[in-house]
Amino acid sequence: MHLKFTKMNGIGNDFVVIDTINQHINITKNMVKRIANRHRGVGCDQLLIIEPPKESHVDFNYRIFNRDGLEASQCGNGARCIAKFIYDQGLSGKRKLLVSSIGGMLHIELVGKNMVAVEIQPPSFDPKKVPFKTEKQDKSYKLEIMSRMIEFVPVTVGNPHAIIFEKDIRKINIRQIGRDFQKHQSFPNQVNVNFAQIINKDLIKLRVFERGSGETESCGSGACATAAAAIRDGLVNSAVTVQQKGGHLKIVWPNESDRIKMIGEAKTVFQGIMNI
C-alpha cells in the first residue's frame, strides 16, 4: 500500500503527518513504530493523523502517536504543524481553526508564513486530573528518585507533566530520572518529565523527557506546562519565552481560568510516498 506523507518540524520536534481525509489507512502500533524508525522508516518523534471532524462545530480531528506506537493525548508542537499542513494542503482556507484531540479542543491560528499560535485548555494542577496519586493536594510534591528526594509540580494541559526546577539543567541525568519518574506508581498513566531552569522573569530554559519518545529537542505542551507552573508561583511573567534545544516558544497565560497560548514556528521539511 502506498501512502502520501509530509515530514514536518516544530522547533526540532519532528513529525510525519498523514492526511486520512483523502486516503484511507488503519493505524496499528507496529505500523507507527516502522514509520517512526530513523534507520528503517521515515523517522520522527511522533506520527500525526488528520481526520474529518467528529462534531459539526469542529474543523478537524487530530491524533498523535508516539514512536513507541502508543497514542498520546496532546502535542503542542504537533498542533502547530497540523495547522500549517491543513492550510498548505488546501484542506481549509481558514487561518483560524478549531481542532479536536484526545486531550481536548485546540484553537489554532496561522499568524505568519511559518508562525502558528495555539491555545490549549487551561492548565490544571489538580492531581486527580493529571493523574497523580497523592493523599492531599499541594503546590508541589516530592518523590525519592535515585536515592534523593526530588521536588516537582504535576500539571496537565491535556497530557501529564511533572515540572522539576533545577539550577543547571545541563548537569542532570535526564534519561535515568525521566525513566524513574515515568515508571513510578504515583503516575498511573506515566508522565512527561520537564527539567526547567529559570534564567530571569522573561526566560526559562527547558529539557523534556517525553512518554514514549525519550528526550526530544522540544516539547510544546511541556513548554506550556512548565510556564504555567512558573507563572503560578510568581517565578516568571505571564508572557515568557521558553528556550529548548530546538528553538524557542512564546507562552502567554494571563489568568488561571484562561486558555494558555503558545506561539512558535512550524515548517515543512519534505513530502513523499511510503510503501506500508
Q: How far apart are the first and last CA of the chain?
A: 5
Cα(219)–Cα(207) distance, rounded to whole angstroms? 8
- All cell numbers assigned to 189: 498513566
Residue 46 annotated as lining a ligand binding site: yes
Residue 61 annotated as lining a ligand binding site: no
Residue 192 annotated as lining a ligand binding site: yes
Cα(151)–Cα(166) distance, rounded to whole angstroms? 10
Q: What type of residue is 257?
A: S
Residue 214 annotated as lining a ligand binding site: no
CA distances to 121, 175, 189, 208, 210 from 72, in Å: 16, 20, 11, 15, 10
Residue 220 annotated as lining a ligand binding site: yes
Residue 275 annotated as lining a ligand binding site: no
Residue 76 annotated as lining a ligand binding site: yes
The active-site residue, picked from 44, 75, 81, 224, is: 75
The active-site residue, picked from 44, 81, 219, 224, is: 219
75 is catalytic: yes
β-bridge pairing 13-19 and 46-51: parallel
The shares of helix, strand and coil residues in the chain, as percent rounded to the nearest 5, are 15, 45, 40
Reference 204, options 232, 178, 181, 237; nearest CA is 237
17, 51 contact by CB (below 8 A)? no
143, 152 contact by CB (below 8 A)? yes
Residue 210 annotated as lining a ligand binding site: yes
Cα(252)–Cα(3) distance, rounded to whole angstroms? 38
Residue 255 annotated as lining a ligand binding site: no
Cα(266)–Cα(80) distance, rounded to whole angstroms? 6
Residue 189 annotated as lining a ligand binding site: no
Question: Binding site: which residues?
Answer: 13, 46, 66, 76-77, 159, 192, 210-211, 220-221
Question: Binding site for substrate: which residues?
Answer: 13, 46, 66, 76-77, 159, 192, 210-211, 220-221
* Catalytic residue annotation: 75, 219
